[in-house]
């Protein structure tokens, strides 16, 4: 994560654990491997060392929007779920529905970072709920600031992949009304 600048661009410290992130068809996220938008269009399963009686926050964010050279929309968050009991993401509260990677054509590799926090208890969030068919309100997000606001502490687990434009991106943009 330090080698690829995830620290300090997304988080201040390397998370204690590596989250296991698996997409359909056996596609696995492996600390910076390159995947395609086609491979990551559907939500993954994410596992971490979770306590069954604790609550967690999970975020997937892109610090390279619209490009790594010009990250003026840093961060563009793709997924944000809070109050996850244990590692049962489907039972958490979705603040931002999942959107796969969609880097603009010619923008080069983008980093897509999964970061997970253990909450001190259930949290009540005032952020606007964003559906998975809308890109509105996702830019200029900061998981660091979100973690500070809700006193989440340091990240517990993380992982990331890199992706650049492929021919699925126009389909994603159409779905998002872009």
Is residue 177 pLDDT above 90, yes or no?
no
Of 95, 88, 109, which Cα lies nearest the Cα of 143? 95
| C-alpha to C-alpha distance for 89 and 80, rounded to whole angstroms | 10
What are the tens digits of pLDDT across the range 99-120? 999 999 999 999 999 999 999 9
Of 9, 106, 16, which Cα lies nearest the Cα of 67? 106
Residue 76 CA, distance from chain mean position:
9
Domains of the chain: 6-175 (3.90.280.10)
pTM attached to this predicted model:
0.97
Strand locations in 48-169 (E): 55-62, 76-85, 93-96, 110-118, 157-163
């Amino acid at each position: 994560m330090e080698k690829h600048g995830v620290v300090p661009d997304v988080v201040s410290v390397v998370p204690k654990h590596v989250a296991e992130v698996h997409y359909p068809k056996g596609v696995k996220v492996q600390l910076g491997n390159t995947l395609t938008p086609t491979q990551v269009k559907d939500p993954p399963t994410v596992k971490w060392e979770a306590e069954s009686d604790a609550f967690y926050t999970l975020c997937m964010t892109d610090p390279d929007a619209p490009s790594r050279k010009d990250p003026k929309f840093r961060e563009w968050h793709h997924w944000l779920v809070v109050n996850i009991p244990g590692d049962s993401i489907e039972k958490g509260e979705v603040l931002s529905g999942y959107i796969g990677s969609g880097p603009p054509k010619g923008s080069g590799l983008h980093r897509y970072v999964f970061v997970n926090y253990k909450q001190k208890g259930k949290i009540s969030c005032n952020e606007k709920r964003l559906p998975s068919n809308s890109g509105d309100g996702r830019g200029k997000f900061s998981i660091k600031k979100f973690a500070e606001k809700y006193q989440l502490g340091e990240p517990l687990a993380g992982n990331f992949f890199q992706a650049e434009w492929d021919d699925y991106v126009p389909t994603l943009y159409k779905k998002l009304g872009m």
